[in-house]
Amino acid sequence: MFALAGCDAFGGGTPTTRTVIQEAPPPVDPIVTLIATTRLHLARIDAALAAIAADAAGVAKLTPIRADRAAHLAALVTEQARTSNPDGSVSASASGAAAGPPQIEMPADATAAIAAIRVDAENAQVQFTDGVAATAKYRSAIFASISACLASHRSVLI
Amino acid sequence: MTAATTPAGSAPSTPAGSAPSTDAVGSATVDTATVPPISGDATASVVSGSGGVVTTALNIGPIEAEAASAVQGGLAAAHAAIWTYGLISAYDPDDIGTIRAARQGNTQIRNAATDLLRTAGVEPVRTEAAYAVPVAVTDRPTALQLAIVVEKDCTNAWRAVVGTTDNLQLRSYALSALSDAAVRLTGWRVLAGVAPATVPFPGNETA
């Protein structure tokens, strides 16, 4: 009877069940989200600059912030391309070239617009801080540097 | 401004505050799939007989030799900053409150880095008796110029720490130190009238 059932009294023979070990999927690379966030915030700064164009002081405050965020986006896209495309080329979706300009409305009041951009900086700082713990050394240093820059943005966007 | 504060008598070509040779910017390889595990723990306790003095003991677990060296760079930058703010305060009485706050911030970083290295089994570097500064301080503008150099050194040092370790608690600590230094750096640039007031990549500056 044991022989017919494919086993014996001592647990030997061919096992009747198989254990399949399935590995967890690899963690999502945070740089994808960080690029999207930076691109969105850059578009919001552009919209804010257009909305408060008549306010010279407000424009003067946001213009260097925009330059920093543009530098962040360029660095992030380059870093992503460096590790995902061996030839170093950047896809249209990664560079944002294929996407049209988003329609974003920002307050015409400079104080309100600057406050909104400050909130963006706070949110982005949280994301980049989280990203520091979720990636390897080299990339985490880039995220850390951008996170620190965003902290400094918060200190001047007042 | 490429020079940095250096211990008096040492070769000025090696910034005391800058990262040693461990700056992650130069790294060529990367493994984005490698997410380091959480390690270590932090505890707080009341010192017996102190009347309620709370001390913190940060035990972050083992750290890499390269990371320990980078933390030493951060600690050396904090030592230099604390000393240099004493010099700055002598020539910039108008900003004494800001100077005091910046010095206090660097003192906290110094104390935490010292404890951190000791718990990692590394003897922390000591402060120097004096430091050679790259700016001849004679008035408020030159004092502000030196303050900018001091905090730039600190950002360089702490960014390097992040790029040398897989220890998440050490990364978090170094990021806090980097962010604090970046905010202080921006504050000094505002006071000095330097435009732009912010830099896009704090800790990655050579100029």
First to last CA, chain A: 84
CB pairs under 8 A between A and B: 123
Buried b vs exposed e over B125-146: b needs ≥16 C-beta within 10 Å? bebbeebbbbbebeebebbbbb
Q: Which residue of B has its CA nearest to A66?
A: B200
pLDDT value for A52: 97
Which residues in chain B touch residue A64, judged by CB atoms under 8 angstroms apart?
195-198
pLDDT value for B66: 96
Q: Which residue of A has its CA nearest to B67?
A: A137
On whether any CB of chain A is under 8 Å from the CB of B163, the answer is yes
Give dist(CA A121, CA A38) in Å, integer.
10
Q: Scanning the structure block, which residue is given the tokens 């305060």?
A: B89
Looking at every residue in chain B, the average pLDDT score rounds to: 82
Contact A149 B201 (CB under 8 A): yes
Quote the minimal CA–CA distance from B160 to chain A in Å: 7
A103 versus A128: the higher-pLDDT residue is A128
Burial grade of B51 (CB within 10 A; 0-12, 13-18, 19 or more)? exposed
The token duo for A59 is 């424009």
Of chain A, the percentage scoring pLDDT greater than 70 comes to: 78
pLDDT band at B32 (very low <50, low <70, confident <90, very high): very low
Residue B59 CB coordination number (10 Å): 14
Give dist(CA B33, CA B60) in Å, integer.
23
H-only helix segments in chain A: 2-5, 31-51, 56-84, 92-95, 110-132, 137-156
Residue A1 has pLDDT above 60, yes or no: no
Quote the minimal CA–CA distance from B53 to chain A in Å: 31
Packing angle between helix B140-162 and helix B168-192, nearest 10 degrees?
A: 160
Could you read off the pLDDT of B69-90 as tens digits, one per residue? Answer: 999 999 999 999 999 999 999 9
B58 versus A3: the higher-pLDDT residue is B58
The token duo for A17 is 């069940």
Of chain B, the percentage scoring pLDDT greater than 70 comes to: 71
Which of B34, B171, B200 is the closest to A149 by Cβ? B200
Residue A92 has pLDDT above 80, yes or no: no
Could you read off the pLDDT of B144-190 as tens digits, one per residue? Answer: 999 999 999 999 999 999 999 999 999 999 999 999 999 999 999 99
Residue B34 has pLDDT above 90, yes or no: no
Quote the minimal CA–CA distance from A113 to chain B in Å: 19
Could you read off the pLDDT of A12-42 as tens digits, one per residue? Answer: 666 677 777 888 877 678 999 999 999 999 9
Looking at every residue in chain A, the average pLDDT score rounds to: 86
Q: Under 8 Å CB-to-CB from A40, ≥6 apart: which residues?
A: A102
Could you read off the pLDDT of B108-132 as tens digits, one per residue? Answer: 999 999 999 999 999 999 999 999 9
Nearest to B74 by CA among B168, B3, B205, B174: B174
Which of B159, B198, B201 is the closest to A156 by Cβ? B198
Nearest to A158 by CA among A58, A86, A47: A58
- Is residue B6 classed as helix, strand or coil in its secondary structure? strand
DSSP A71: H
A34 versus B60: the higher-pLDDT residue is A34
The pTM assigned to this predicted structure is: 0.79
Of chain A, the percentage scoring pLDDT greater than 90 comes to: 67
Quote the minimal CA–CA distance from B85 to chain A in Å: 21
Q: Which residue of A has its CA nearest to B196?
A: A64
Is the Cα dihedral A132, B150, A70, A39 positive or negative? positive
On whether any CB of chain A is under 8 Å from the CB of B116, the answer is no
On whether any CB of chain A is under 8 Å from the CB of B63, the answer is no
Which residues in chain B touch residue A147, judged by CB atoms under 8 angstroms apart?
175, 178-179
pLDDT value for B11: 40
- Is residue B121 classed as helix, strand or coil in its secondary structure? coil
Quote the minimal CA–CA distance from B90 to chain A in Å: 26
Could you read off the pLDDT of A37-88 as tens digits, one per residue? Answer: 999 999 999 999 999 999 999 999 999 999 999 999 999 999 999 887 555 4
A38 versus B55: the higher-pLDDT residue is A38
Q: Which residue of A has its CA nearest to B166?
A: A137
Which residues in chain B touch residue A142, judged by CB atoms under 8 angstroms apart?
201
